[in-house]
Structure 1
Amino acid sequence: MVSDLQTKLNYVNAYRENRLMAAQDVLENQSLFDELVSICFSPSDKNNHKACWILEFVSYEELIWLQPHLDFFCSNLKVLKDESSIRPIAKVIQLLIKSHYRKNENCILLSEENLQDCIEASFDWLINDVKVATKAYSIRTLYVLGNHYNWIHPELQIILTKDYAHHSAAYKAVAKEVLKKINI
């Protein structure tokens, strides 16, 4: 039997308005969230990438909903192989890391193991053959993490400097911005 969420995901397409409508359905019915997270990390599910799209939009509004799922979320980052799934999850990681270090009453609390999983995934996506948006999110995430782990900025600087000439203008813009911050 197909769940309500799976039925909704069957009708989701890449149009932003369409993805926003599906995310709004989840925001209005939090009971769908557990299944959404599960589908995100089920690469064999035909709606896996669509679930990741929706999770990104839901995370903009209710990032805190991920708190009870962080161990599962972070430990399963390595199962993602499809670029359509990785890009939105890279953005969610960026949101999580920024929230973790914001340290206010609504911040996300990541364990050391969660942080290590995010560091590993971000470096993997940065050095592997993924599209520039994923790399840009990873660069920005690693920059923030590098403010708290003193070994990250030097490694990030080496990778960005080495790869700079071989990438698009969008990659170069983000790399230049981050390199400038690192070198201050």
Structure 2
Amino acid sequence: MRDDRKFARFYSEEDLSNEKSDALLTFFISENLAQPRSKYQFAIVTKGGDLIGSCGIRLEADQQASVGCELGREWQKKGYALEAGSAMLAFGFEQQGVHRIYAETISENKAAIRLCKILGMRHEALFLENRYFQNRWGSTCVGLETTLLVHRCRVVTVPATSMSVQPGFAARTQAGNPRID
């Protein structure tokens, strides 16, 4: 996934290295054992067991949380990211008691921005040329956010896909059932 040039355009060179991937995997495994737990990273796999991406939620102070998702290009535009994003929002609001969830992305990542809007998030801010990566300055969309009230009032139709979201290496969330144990 990270070897794909088009996928990699939204990541720094450091973030794409094998060393960084190994460090992140070690970090995610250790966070799975933390008590109390504030960081959740989930593998997105097909029902056949193929790893196709990951998604996560980071619990912050004052009932805030941030979310993120990455998906291999061959699996994009098929409803997997929408299903994973819906599961992250449901998990944050319904199981973790979060009041506000936000996402941050490079302003050129139109697919991520579109996904956030479909999930009911609104755009709050654009920070111009605030992040240096890939030998240039890039702008960041921050505050693609939604609140518990918006989540409760909005119905998002999630297409039936053949995927599951796996927290750590334990429970599975089946398509159509955004519940994470």
Normalised to the residue count of structure 1, the TM-score between the two structures is: 0.29
Bigger share in strand? 2
TM-score normalized by the length of structure 2: 0.30
Asked which structure has the greater RCO (Cα within 8 Å, sep 6+), the reply is: 2
